[in-house]
């Protein structure tokens, strides 16, 4: 009972019930997801000031603005906008998680509507971002990560990473994006 309550809480951290249950861009790209996490944060910066921090995410890029020792091999996530990663097109590599970016270790841009929504996809997962203006100078940032648990020898590791490791990393990432966007707004 406690585990189920904790799971429900961390899968919707920061999101309203409407955000958690509502549609997101890219929802139709992955069927049979065993893991669906919708998280959100309000940021005191307009969407066009939040967007650049999201598009440069990834290993060998700006990092993940999270716990750098764990997700960026000890390299500090950037506190600056990196112009070389600011232009995206459909099909581009996005959010690489390793030096050798391939379909297992990096997403590809599936859709983008700057600065309102961005969807990254891999064969077994999608990661969507929606930025909505909140008041005159704010942004509501909602993200949804969907992953399919495919059978195989790595399934226990995948489940452990998603069900236990994803939440603290994603929470810290959202807070890191907010800190950077607010500081530069």
Which of 5, 40, 25 has its CA nearest to residue 170?
A: 40
Question: According to the model, what pLDDT value does residue 149 have?
Answer: 86
Question: According to the model, what pLDDT value does residue 172 have?
Answer: 96
DSSP for residue 76? P
- Please enumerate in sequence order all residues whose Cβ is within 8 A of that of 101, keeping only pairs 6 or more positions apart, or say none: 93
Question: According to the model, what pLDDT value does residue 106 have?
Answer: 93
CB 127 within 8 A of CB 143: yes
Low-confidence ranges of the chain (pLDDT < 70): none
Question: According to the model, what pLDDT value does residue 97 have?
Answer: 87
In which residue are the tokens 């195989």 written? 152
- For residue 148, the domain's CATH number is 3.30.530.20
**pLDDT tens, position by position, 43-73:** 999 999 999 999 999 999 999 999 988 777 7
Whole-model pTM?
A: 0.94
Total tally of structural domains belonging to the chain = 1
Question: According to the model, what pLDDT value does residue 183 have?
Answer: 96
Q: Which domain holds residue 98?
A: 2-184
């Amino acid at each position: 009972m406690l585990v189920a309550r904790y799971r429900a809480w961390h899968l919707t951290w920061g999101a309203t019930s409407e955000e958690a249950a509502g549609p997101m861009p890219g929802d139709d790209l992955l069927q049979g997801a065993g893991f669906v996490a919708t998280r959100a944060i309000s940021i005191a910066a307009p969407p066009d000031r939040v967007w650049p921090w999201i598009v440069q995410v990834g290993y060998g890029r700006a990092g993940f603005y999270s716990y750098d020792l764990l997700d960026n091999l000890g390299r500090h996530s950037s506190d600056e906008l990196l112009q070389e990663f600011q232009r995206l097109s459909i099909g581009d590599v996005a959010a690489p998680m390793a030096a050798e970016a391939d379909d297992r270790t990096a997403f590809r841009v599936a859709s983008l509507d700057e600065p309102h929504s961005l969807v990254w996809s891999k064969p077994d997962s999608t990661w969507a971002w929606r930025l909505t203006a909140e008041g005159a100078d704010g942004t509501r940032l909602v993200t949804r990560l969907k992953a399919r648990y495919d059978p195989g020898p790595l399934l226990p590791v995948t489940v452990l990473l998603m069900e236990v490791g994803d939440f603290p990393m994603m929470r810290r990432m959202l807070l890191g994006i907010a800190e950077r966007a607010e500081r530069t707004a």
